[in-house]
Amino acid sequence: MDAAAQRTTKVYKREGLKGLLRCYPAQIRDKSGQHALEGVNADCHKFDVFVLWPNGKI
């Protein structure tokens, strides 16, 4: 491997994704600047919501 290659590239090539993830620290999140539902990721999730009306219909 070439000497100019970044350390992270070398780690990824040698150890794969698990090794690469160890190169970066975990994110530290501060909740003081967030509002309700800002940290929610619901991509590709299906929500089945039904309403039961007073006449008994769904």
Q: pLDDT tens for residues 22-53? A: 999 888 878 888 888 787 777 787 778 888 99
- Which pTM does this prediction carry? 0.42
pLDDT at 55: 94
pLDDT at 3: 66
pLDDT at 44: 80
- Residues contacting residue 10 through CB under 8 Å, at least 6 positions apart: 1
Tokens for 6, please give them: 């970044």
20 close to 12: Cβ distance less than 8 angstroms? yes
- Split at pLDDT 50, 70, 90, the class of 19 is very high
- Residues contacting residue 45 through CB under 8 Å, at least 6 positions apart: none
